[in-house]
């Protein structure tokens, strides 16, 4: 089976459409979204529609939770908070209800999906250091766990007591090792690459690929400005930061 894993769309419809178009070419069996459909970007309603049409599994992200009133806005910086207030004001009630009821974790054969970490997923901890990875590995029951949240694609590999980190875009999974794979962000990458990122997992071949897809950054940024959202949220799209 081949699966596409997308995350951190953040209201960026231009990036989402480019990624979904690329997914169509990958001959995947299912698409999963592991959180943060909304926040930051100017088209949250269209992104909710696009994700729900494409994905067979959708999980809760921290921005989704905050927009739906499930998580305190005080946990976010001033720019994210402003965007979330705006998002909650423009989303239809049915979409907010949908976001509110999304699950935190999903399981597949040989893999787990979560937005942040399996260690306290309801608190949305970041998973960017070896210590944070070890906490997640301690509660992992499958060989692979797909995560997002930091917007930086990377993989932690555990073999016995050894822990390694890699940013390789193509990874062969080996027996005896376990993996935490961050698939990056569709709508707001933060690894210095402005292109949208998502993952393709081939369970039969035992491989994971992080794919990058270019899209119209100028158009996406202009939509943010026209919506009256913070200028920073438009500017950072070009920097991949």
Express each pLDDT in 65-101 by its tens digit.
999 999 999 999 999 999 999 999 999 999 999 999 9
Q: Which is higher by pLDDT, 240 or 89? A: 89
pLDDT on residue 241: 80
Express each pLDDT in 227-239 by its tens digit.
999 999 999 999 9
Express each pLDDT in 28-61 by its tens digit.
999 999 999 999 999 999 999 999 999 999 999 9
DSSP string, 148-177: -SSS--EEEEEETTEEEEE--SEEE--TT-
Residue 174 tokens, joined: 């080996």
Residue 176 CA to residue 11 CA, distance in Å, equals 39
pLDDT on residue 163: 96
User: Which residues face 163 on adjacent strands?
Assistant: 158
- For tokens 């919506």, name the residue: 227
Residue 15 CA to residue 98 CA, distance in Å, equals 22
Residue 108 CA to residue 199 CA, distance in Å, equals 15
Q: Of 111, 186, 193, 109, which is closest to residue 146 (Cα–Cα)?
A: 111
Query: Which domain covers residue 28, as residue numbers?
Result: 2-239
Q: Over the chain, what is the mean pLDDT?
A: 97
Count structural domains, the chain: 1
CATH number assigned to the domain comprising residue 216: 3.60.21.10
């Amino acid at each position: 089976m081949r699966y596409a894993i997308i995350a951190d769309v953040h209201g960026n419809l231009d990036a989402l459409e480019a990624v979904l178009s690329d997914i169509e070419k990958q001959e995947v069996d299912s698409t999963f979204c592991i959180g943060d459909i909304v926040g930051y970007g100017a088209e949250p309603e269209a992104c909710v529609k696009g994700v729900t049409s494409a994905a067979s599994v959708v999980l809760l992200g921290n921005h989704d939770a905050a927009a739906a009133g499930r998580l305190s806005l005080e946990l976010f910086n001033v720019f994210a908070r402003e965007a979330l207030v705006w998002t909650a004001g423009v989303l239809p009630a049915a979409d907010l209800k949908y976001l509110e009821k999304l699950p935190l974790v999903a399981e597949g054969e040989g893999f787990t999906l979560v937005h942040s970490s399996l260690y306290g997923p309801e608190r949305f901890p970041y998973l960017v250091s070896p210590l944070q990875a070890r906490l997640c590995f301690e509660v992992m029951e499958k060989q692979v766990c797909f995560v997002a949240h930091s917007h930086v694609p990377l993989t932690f590999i555990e073999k016995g007591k050894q822990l390694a980190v890699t940013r390789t875009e193509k990874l062969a999974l080996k027996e005896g090792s376990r993996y935490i794979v961050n698939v990056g962000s569709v709508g707001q990458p933060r690894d210095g690459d402005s292109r949208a990122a998502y993952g393709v997992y081939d369970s039969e071949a035992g491989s994971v690929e992080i794919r990058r897809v270019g899209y119209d950054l100028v158009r996406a940024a202009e939509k943010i400005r026209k919506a009256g959202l913070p200028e920073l949220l438009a500017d950072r799209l070009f920097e991949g930061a």
